[in-house]
Amino acid sequence: MPPDPLTMMPGQLLARGVSRHFASLGWVTVEELVPTRGLRVDVMALGPKGEIWVVECKSSRADFMSDSKWEGYLEWCDRFFWAVDDGFPTDLLPEESGLIIADSYDAEILRMAPEDKLAPARRKVMIQKFATHAARRLHVLRDPGAGLSV
């Protein structure tokens, strides 16, 4: 079953809008991918040329302030963005990252993140992880009787 918007957390609703925006650009996204033990990204977006962008969705000041891990995401993507709603105090966010304003229906990139390109070997690993993550989650939804877990 798809997640019910009424029970989604605020950050998940932002992620939904972010994913819709990337889809409109011809990119694909997954949520909650684990690039390495102890890290889990809100949205990982894959571009048509193998670009890998990470978007962390923050629903409130407290949500942002409690995140001590975000710098760990930088080495797993070409560009890193924050996604927040239009009431978020964006002055809090580090200027050297990208900024996306989102709601649960759509999103817009307000500030492009600087590019720090993945090395080819790591890009290969990340696209493999992305493919595996997406296909496994899809399989769980397609065939609930298979007894798979994610």
Q: Which residues bind a second copy (CB under 8 A)?
A: 1-3, 5, 16, 19-20, 23, 28-31, 46, 48, 50, 124, 127-128, 130-132, 134-139, 141-146, 148
Alpha carbon distance 22, 20 (integer Å): 6
**Smallest distance, a second copy to C-beta of residue 51, A:** 11
141 sits in which H/E element: helix 120-142
For the chain, report the end-to-end CA distance as a whole number of angstroms. Answer: 15
The CB-of-138 to a second copy minimum distance in angstroms stands at 4
Which C-beta is closer to a second copy: that of 65 or that of 138? 138
Closer residue to a second copy, CB minimum distance, 117 or 142: 142
CB nearer to a second copy: pick between 39 and 47: 47
**Minimal distance, residue 122 CB to a second copy, in Å:** 14
Q: From the CB of 135, what's the least distance to a second copy, in Å? A: 4
- The encoded tokens of residue 41 equal 């990204």
* Residues comprising the chain, all counted: 150
Cβ at position 4, least distance to a second copy in Å: 11
> Residue 73 and residue 83: Cα distance in Å, rounded?
14
Cβ pair 64, 93 in contact under 8 A: yes
Nearer to a second copy by Cβ, of 34 and 92: the residue is 34
Query: E strand or H helix at 24, and its extent?
Result: helix 10-24
Taking alpha carbons only, the member of 10, 6, 140, 108 closest to residue 64 is: 10
Which CB, 5 or 72, lies closer to a second copy? Answer: 5
